[in-house]
């Protein structure tokens, strides 16, 4: 493990780099799509604040025994870091910020490639600092364990390439790419939890798996409904003249 790179904590360094990369990708995609409204700054801020809060507070129930009437600040300081909680918090933060700023347009297609690449960079910090996974004898094991964070990095990089090179140019309903990305990550995360080595909470499943067991069907049902409505008939590169417009 590599807890620090020079004077900086390794995990926090790569999380910060991931956020910076995500912001750059978001700006590039917003300009390409012609969404340059200044209110987008508040939308991005909402995503960052919401993600930062629920990344910690999303696991508050595991730490209610810190002491009697533990404060939210203590929960945030001592709580586990949860990527799933961070994604939920970012989603909520975006909707709150859009309501406050009165920004009417869908922003999921701007966030999808940004989040994918940002997650890939941020997970490097986890790979370098946290216990990777369960015991295994596969040739690519790290210290005899599954490199589960490397699996996540590979998934997010593949998702980013699919989004950046193909799906963002397809003729799809607004916000579709983010729903597809989150659904794909949910399925992947449910499966990778098998080798993550997280604590089993109930029915042989970890807490993330229990959360995903409730949310994945909702996302897949939405995708299936839109598919039956013909929303994805335009799953092909948009005409060049439309992109130029």
Spell out the residues 6+ positions from residue 160 whose beta carbon is closer than 8 angstroms to its own.
113, 116, 117, 120
How much is the pLDDT for 243? 45
Write out pLDDT tens, residues 135-153.
Answer: 999 999 988 999 999 999 9
Least confident among 3-7, 73-77, 103-107, 171-175: 73-77
Residue 68 has pLDDT above 60, yes or no: no
Domain positions in the chain are 107-244
195 vs 75, higher pLDDT: 195
175: alpha, beta or left, given left = phi > 0 and alpha = psi -120 to 50? left
Give the mean model confidence (pLDDT) for residues 1-25: 83
Write out pLDDT tens, residues 21-47.
Answer: 999 999 999 999 999 899 999 999 999
Spell out the residues 6+ positions from residue 58 whose beta carbon is closer than 8 angstroms to its own.
79, 82, 84, 85, 86, 88, 89
User: Global pTM?
Assistant: 0.85
Residue 242 has pLDDT above 50, yes or no: no
The residue behind tokens 């995503």 is 47
Token pair in block for residue 38: 């200044």
């Amino acid at each position: 493990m590599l807890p620090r790179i020079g004077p900086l904590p390794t995990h926090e360094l790569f999380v910060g780099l991931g956020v910076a990369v995500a912001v750059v990708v978001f700006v590039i995609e917003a300009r390409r799509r012609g969404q340059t409204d200044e209110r987008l700054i508040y939308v991005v801020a909402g995503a960052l604040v919401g993600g930062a809060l629920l990344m910690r507070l999303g696991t508050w129930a595991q730490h209610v025994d810190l002491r009697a009437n533990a404060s939210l600040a203590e929960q945030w300081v001592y709580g586990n870091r949860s990527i799933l909680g961070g994604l939920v918090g970012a989603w909520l933060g975006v909707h709150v910020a859009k309501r406050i700023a009165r920004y009417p347009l869908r922003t999921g297609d701007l966030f999808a490639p940004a989040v994918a690449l940002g997650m890939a960079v941020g997970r490097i910090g986890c790979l370098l600092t946290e216990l990777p996974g369960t015991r295994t004898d596969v040739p690519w094991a790290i210290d005899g364990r599954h490199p589960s964070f490397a699996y996540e990095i590979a998934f997010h990089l593949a998702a980013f390439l699919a989004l950046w090179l193909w799906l963002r140019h397809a003729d799809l309903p607004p916000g579709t790419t983010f729903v597809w990305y989150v659904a794909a990550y949910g399925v992947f995360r449910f499966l990778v939890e098998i080798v993550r080595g997280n604590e089993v909470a109930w029915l042989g499943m970890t807490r993330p798996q229990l959360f995903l067991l409730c949310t994945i069907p909702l996302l897949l049902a939405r995708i299936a409904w839109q598919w039956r409505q013909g929303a994805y008939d335009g799953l092909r590169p948009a005409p060049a003249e439309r992109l130029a417009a």
